[in-house]
């Protein structure tokens, strides 16, 4: 029997509900407390976008897949959305979903090649695709993509509207909540059970009449789509896009966020993104530059070795540890 | 316009580039063969090898080829430390974990190097920089020839080590059947350590050769060669050392032809196109038996 709680995240129902409410309240009031502190607002917006991105990446791991090249989808969503919004004058609120669609199309193509590959092979091929797409953008499509210089993208909310940054922030939060809700609905449904069955034991899943290839492909499609949406959100927030968006860092961040939070759970990428972002920007404020990469790297290695289920399992581990101590004394 | 001499020229560049890839890929393969783990941070070891050579060169001013004697042993030590601290604890906990722990390692090593050596691009000049020799009517830098010969010598050395020595045989036994080797009284954990050390040493040698050939380097340059080396490993088949050698040569040559025909922007992408094509046709690589 597959424990649904495991797929969804933190232990008890009460704890989960409490966590969600606290997070939502914080998301709403934080920018109000700090007023119009632009620096903080920028960090918050990026954090929420990366929560979407990390959650989408993490969606793949439910079927036991992994990708080292999600920057391909993140960047494609951004480019397509920016180009369409500029050419047609459509609101970025519409074009981000078209950008996601383009990412999903490419994702489907990559997925068809990848679904039968495993682990390292899959990792390599996805990594390779990010580089191939970057190369295409700077060479073959340079005339429309602006080559290495990139292109400008319209802001999500026009800068002429008062408090446009706040409006942007709240709309991105809303989109993030809706996407994560959608993930939750998918994972609660039969599809989620099929995912878990495939991840745990592909042979048995097949024997039970589940077609692993179809479900893997579906996970790839969904993951690519929402990574594209996240990418589009980011570039409309920044106001420009360059091929740097396909870089290795952009591929690795969602992995770092998801692992440090807890792989294969809904709460994991959210918790991971928040903790790592706070740590990251906190260290920057202390004036630490290269060393913070080292710190994040050490943290990642230690989490993989000592906390294989991520930070969200920390309270549980601490509780177990205390109970063990009490029993022995 | 592509005359025979141009083709030959590109072939020689490819052969030289292939040598560095072969050293990386063979190291990866050795580690994979014995431990069944993939070290995605292998390129960072190449980068360390490059910087160690650079530092010793700046300090001593010796012929940089001699500095192979510094970079290889130091990298063997680094490799052993990495194996003990990072890979041994996660051995057998899932293949994705190896990839993820490598990502952590990449961040640590790259940025520690950036702290120590700054992130400027560096270059050193080989004493033979201006000397070229003529091969079949094509000019070839003497450095390339030395690199090709050095690589061949290292590979012959590895072959003899694996075939003729007791430890080498024990390593092969471990890679063929870990449990069986353990029952025969082979200390498999020591074999893990050794294979990781030698693999890292190979990366160190590749780093030195990278530097002496006059290529620029900075702390972040290792990722792409490493990923390519891994693609070569897949191309040649996981665990197959002859596969890695042939794969490395094919790669180096294909890459240089791509630069020549499609333009420099395709240098990195072409390797992955080859990889993906190979995987579509033969998911286990050209010389591999089974990935499972």
Q: ipTM score here?
A: 0.80
Chain A, chain B: beta-carbon pairs less than 8 Å apart: 119
Report mean pLDDT in 10-residue bins for chain B, 292 residues: 72 84 89 85 91 88 83 92 89 80 90 87 79 75 86 91 89 87 87 92 91 84 82 77 83 82 76 79 62 38
How does pLDDT run across B40-90, given as a tens digit for each residue?
Answer: 889 899 999 999 988 988 888 788 888 888 889 999 999 999 999 888 888
Q: Do B266 and A300 touch (CB under 8 A)?
A: no
User: A132 and B231: CB-CB below 8 Å?
Assistant: no
pLDDT of residue B288: 56
Q: Which residues of chain A are at the B interface, by a Cβ-Cβ cutoff of 8 Å? A: 61, 66, 68, 113, 116-121, 123-125, 127-129, 131-132, 134-136, 138-139, 248, 252, 255-256, 259, 263, 290-291, 293-294, 296-301, 304-305, 308
For residue B282, is it left (φ>0), alpha (ψ between -120 and 50) or beta? beta
pLDDT at A325: 84
Tokens read off for A222: 């969904």
Q: How far is CA A60 from CA A54, A57, A113, A220, B31, in A?
A: 10, 6, 15, 6, 28
pTM of the complete model? 0.86
DSSP chain B: ---HHHHHHHHHHHHHHHHHHHHHHHHHHHHHHHH----TTHHHHHHHHHHHHHHHHHHH---GGGGHHHHHHHHHHHHHHHIIIIIHHHTTS-HHHHHHHHHHHHHHHHHHHHHHH-S--B----TTTT-EEEETTEEEEHHHHHHHHHHHHHHHHHHHHHHHSHHHHHHHHHHH-HHHHHHTT--HHHHHHHHHHHHHHHHHHHHHHHHHTT--B-TTTTHHHHHHHHHHHHHH-TT-HHHHHHHHHHHHHHHHHHHHHH-GGGHHHHHHHHHHHHHHH-TT-SS-----
DSSP letter string over A89-140?
---HHHHHHHHHHHHHHHHHHHHHHHTT--HHHHHHHHHHHHHHHHHHHHTT
| Strand (E) or helix (H) holding A23 | helix A13-33
Please report the sign of the dihedral spanned by the C-alpha atoms of residue B98, residue B101, residue B107, residue B109. Answer: negative
> Which residue in the set B111, B273, B279 is minimally distant from A293, CB to CB?
B111
Domains assigned to chain B: 4-281 (1.10.3470)
Chain A residue with the nearest C-alpha to that of B234: A121
CA distances from B251 to A204, B87, B144, B226 (A): 40, 29, 17, 13
A1 pLDDT above the threshold of 50 = no
Distance from CA of A35 to the nearest CA of B (A): 35
CA distance A304 to chain B (A): 7
pLDDT score of A77: 93
Q: Which domains does chain A possess? A: 4-328 (1.10.3470)
pLDDT, residue B285, reads: 61
User: What is the per-residue pLDDT for B4?
Assistant: 73
Q: Is A131 in Cβ contact with B272 (below 8 Å)? A: yes
Instruction: State the pLDDT confidence band at A73, using cuts at 50, 70 and 90.
Output: very high
> What was the pLDDT predicted at B289?
52
- Tens digits of per-residue pLDDT, A243-286? 888 888 899 899 999 999 988 888 889 999 999 999 988 888 88
- Bigger pLDDT: B136 or A235? A235
Q: What's the confidence (pLDDT) of residue A3?
A: 46
The fraction of chain A above a pLDDT of 70, given in percent, is 94
């Amino acid at each position: 029997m597959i424990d649904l709680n495991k797929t969804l995240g933190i232990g008890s129902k009460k704890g989960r509900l409490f966590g969600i409410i606290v997070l939502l309240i914080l998301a709403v009031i934080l920018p109000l407390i700090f007023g119009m502190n632009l620096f903080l607002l920028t960090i918050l917006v990026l954090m929420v976008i990366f929560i979407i991105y990390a959650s989408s990446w993490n969606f793949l791991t439910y079927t036991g897949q992994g990708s080292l090249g999600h920057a391909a989808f993140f960047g494609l969503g951004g480019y397509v959305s920016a180009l369409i919004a500029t050419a047609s004058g459509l609101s970025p609120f519409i074009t981000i979903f078209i950008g996601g669609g383009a990412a999903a199309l490419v994702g489907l193509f990559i997925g068809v090649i990848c679904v039968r590959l495993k682990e390292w092979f899959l990792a390599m091929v996805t990594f390779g695709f990010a580089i191939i797409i970057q190369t295409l953008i700077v060479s073959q499509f340079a005339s429309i993509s602006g080559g290495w210089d990139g292109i400008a993208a319209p802001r999500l909310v026009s800068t002429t509207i008062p408090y446009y940054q706040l409006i942007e922030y709240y709309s991105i939060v809303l989109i993030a909540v809706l996407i994560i809700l959608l993930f939750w609905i998918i994972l609660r449904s039969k599809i989620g059970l099929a995912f878990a069955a495939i991840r745990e034991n592909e042979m048995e899943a097949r024997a039970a009449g589940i077609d692993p290839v179809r479900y893997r492909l579906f996970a790839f499609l969904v993951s690519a789509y929402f990574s594209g949406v996240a990418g589009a959100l980011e570039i409309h927030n920044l106001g420009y896009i360059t091929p740097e968006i396909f870089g290795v860092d952009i591929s690795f961040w969602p992995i770092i966020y998801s692992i440090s939070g807890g792989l294969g759970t809904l709460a994991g990428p959210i918790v991971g993104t928040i903790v790592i972002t706070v740590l990251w920007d906190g260290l920057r404020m202390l004036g630490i530059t290269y060393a913070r990469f080292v710190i994040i790297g050490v943290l990642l290695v230690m989490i993989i070795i000592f906390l294989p289920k991520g930070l969200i399992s920390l309270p549980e581990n601490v509780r177990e540890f205390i109970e063990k101590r009490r029993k022995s004394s | 316009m592509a005359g025979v001499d141009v083709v030959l020229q590109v072939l020689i560049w490819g052969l030289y580039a292939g040598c560095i890839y072969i050293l990386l890929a063979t190291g990866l393969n050795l580690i994979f063969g014995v431990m069944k783990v993939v070290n995605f941070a292998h390129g960072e070891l190449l980068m360390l090898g490059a910087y160690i050579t650079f530092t010793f060169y700046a300090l001593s001013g010796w012929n940089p080829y001699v500095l192979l004697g510094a970079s290889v042993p130091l990298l063997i030590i680094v490799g052993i430390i990495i194996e003990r601290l990072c890979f041994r604890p996660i051995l057998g906990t899932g293949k994705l974990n190896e990839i993820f722990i490598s990502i952590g390692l990449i961040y640590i090593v790259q940025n520690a190097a950036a702290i120590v050596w700054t992130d400027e691009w560096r270059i050193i000049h080989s004493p033979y920089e201006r000397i070229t020799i003529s091969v079949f009517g094509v000019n070839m830098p003497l450095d390339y020839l030395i690199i090709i010969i050095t690589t061949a010598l290292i590979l012959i050395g590895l072959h003899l080590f694996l075939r003729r020595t007791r430890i080498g045989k024990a390593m092969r036994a471990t890679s063929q059947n870990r449990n069986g080797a353990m029952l025969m009284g082979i200390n498999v954990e020591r074999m893990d350590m050794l294979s990781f050390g030698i693999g890292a040493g190979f990366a160190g040698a590749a780093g030195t050769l990278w530097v002496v050939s006059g290529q620029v380097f900075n702390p972040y340059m290792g990722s792409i060669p490493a990923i390519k080396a891994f693609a070569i490993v897949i191309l040649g088949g996981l665990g197959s050392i002859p596969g890695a050698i042939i794969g490395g040569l094919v790669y180096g040559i294909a890459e240089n032809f791509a630069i020549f025909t499609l333009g420099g922007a395709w240098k990195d992408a072409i390797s992955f196109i080859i990889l993906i094509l190979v995987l579509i046709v033969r998911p286990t690589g050209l010389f591999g038996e089974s990935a499972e």
